Amino acid sequence: MSDADGAAAPDAAELSSLQQRAQAGEADAKAALGKHLIMSGGEADVVRRGAQLVAEAAAAGEPNGLTLQALFAATGLFVPQNWDEAFDMCAQAAEAGSDFARGQLAALAGVAERDAVTSWRELRAGIDIAALMRAPPATSRSASPNLSLVPGFASPAECAWLMERAARRLKRARIYDATNHAGAENEGRNNSDANFPFLDLDLVILILQQRMARLTPIPLFGTDAPTVLHYVPGQRFEAHFDYLTPATPSMAEDLARCGQRITTFLIYLNEDFEGGETDFPDAGLRVRGKAGEGVFWSNVKPDGEVDPMTRHVGLGPTRGEKWVFSQWIRDRPQSW
């Protein structure tokens, strides 16, 4: 299998087949079964068994095992954190034919046409990881809300990759619902989005999160699962706050468990549309970045109290399609 964007969990028959094939030593089955076990939320020994299967698949040169192991190396999950090893394994997966790995490396190297690459190892060798992690300087746009712009935050190739991945997994966007982990549909929000839980992250997203960590007070992994938002004419997300209200009982448990969403970080992925601003009606402020531009704002005041001036509307375009990468940053590290 290649990138499993939107793929459903295996049913009982498929799981039994994976187990049999993995036991027989088939590396692709080990990678798939390992990912399933890690995602299952089972006991620690089940998760460890999943990680071991992924490691075995990667050691055998299986592309999906390699891309998962690259994720683990970049984040320090199951193995010591090592960005060089993460990129090396991604290049190995690319050489083995993984279009998912090729897309990541091409985006990070700024290559628009993957078919033009003759050696993925050479392409990887030319990538300066430390330089990729640097963030352009931010410029303050507003004091209330406390909002800044970051021109050139993401490259055109990175933006194109995020839109490519998101397009395959778009679903009707939902609003916060404490009783339903998936959220709830609401007529006040009719756009689409694509969510990227931990095991669906890639090196492009992780590098972007590293840049965010250099501009915001919370280090990497103080983040919720990122989302790509998609709007067409007639769609919008009505006025709302990104912070969790401490006085609301349904949000208090989330706050106690995961912390406050202190910062919202957006990356505008395209600009070939009209309208589509992010509107802060109480501040008389509308923001619309160019492709690759970042914008971030503090959802709380310096004393930690929530900031009602951050109430905002996600406006849809009057022409064209609007694509935005959205990342909430909490005040403490999150578990995957």
> Residue 253 has what DSSP assignment?
H
Residues 171, 300, single domain; the answer is yes
Residues 95, 158, single domain; the answer is no
Residues 40, 108, single domain; the answer is yes
Residue 7 falls inside a structural domain: no
Q: Which residues of 104-134 are buried (b: 16+ CB within 10 A; e: fewer)?
A: bbbbbbebeeeeeeeebeebbeebebeebbe
Residue 336 falls inside a structural domain: no
Residues 159, 291, single domain; the answer is yes
Cα(55)–Cα(59) distance, integer angstroms: 6
User: CA dist 183 to 139, 200, 244, 284, 323, Å?
Assistant: 34, 19, 14, 30, 21
Residue 1 falls inside a structural domain: no
CATH of the domain at 110: 1.25.40.10
Residue 134 falls inside a structural domain: no
Residues 185, 248, single domain; the answer is yes
Residue 198 falls inside a structural domain: yes
- Residue 229, classed as helix, strand or coil, is strand
Among the three residues 75, 95, 127, which one is the final residue of a domain in this structure? 127
Q: What is the pLDDT of residue 41?
A: 81
Interacting residues of 280 by C-beta distance below 8 A, sequence separation 6+: 142, 145, 147, 286, 287, 309, 310, 311, 312
CATH of the domain at 254: 2.60.120.620
Residue 61 falls inside a structural domain: yes
Domain range enclosing 86: 12-127
Residue 190 falls inside a structural domain: yes
Residues 123, 146, single domain; the answer is no
Residues 173, 301, single domain; the answer is yes
* Residue 300 near residue 159 (C-beta atoms within 8 A): no
Q: Helix 203-213 vs helix 99-109: angle between axes, to the nearest 10 degrees?
A: 40
Q: What is the pLDDT of residue 9?
A: 81
Residues 21, 42, single domain; the answer is yes
Q: What is the pLDDT of residue 200?
A: 97
- Determine the straight-line distance between the first and last CA of the chain, rounded to whole angstroms: 23
Among the three residues 96, 127, 158, which one is the final residue of a domain in this structure? 127
Q: What is the pLDDT of residue 178?
A: 60
Residues 306, 183, single domain; the answer is yes
Structure tokens at 327: 């990342």
Bridge partners (DSSP) listed for residue 30:
none
Domain total of the chain: 2
Q: What is the pLDDT of residue 246?
A: 85
Residues 161, 283, single domain; the answer is yes
Q: What is the pLDDT of residue 1?
A: 35
Among the three residues 103, 127, 151, which one is the final residue of a domain in this structure? 127
Q: What is the pLDDT of residue 252?
A: 87
Residues 100, 155, single domain; the answer is no
pLDDT tens string, the chain, 336 residues long: the values are 344 565 678 889 999 999 999 999 999 999 999 999 999 888 999 999 999 999 999 999 999 999 999 999 999 999 999 999 999 999 999 999 999 999 999 999 999 999 999 999 999 999 999 999 999 999 999 999 999 999 999 999 999 999 999 999 999 998 876 665 556 667 889 999 999 999 999 999 999 999 999 998 766 566 889 999 999 999 999 999 999 998 888 888 889 888 999 999 999 999 999 999 999 999 999 999 999 999 999 999 999 999 999 999 999 999 999 999 999 999 887 766
Residues 82, 171, single domain; the answer is no
Nearest to 154 by CA among 212, 100, 112: 212
Handedness of CA 331, 190, 313, 322 (dihedral sign): positive
Residue 5 falls inside a structural domain: no
- Dihedrals phi, psi of 95, to nearest 5 degrees: -65, -30
pTM as predicted: 0.94
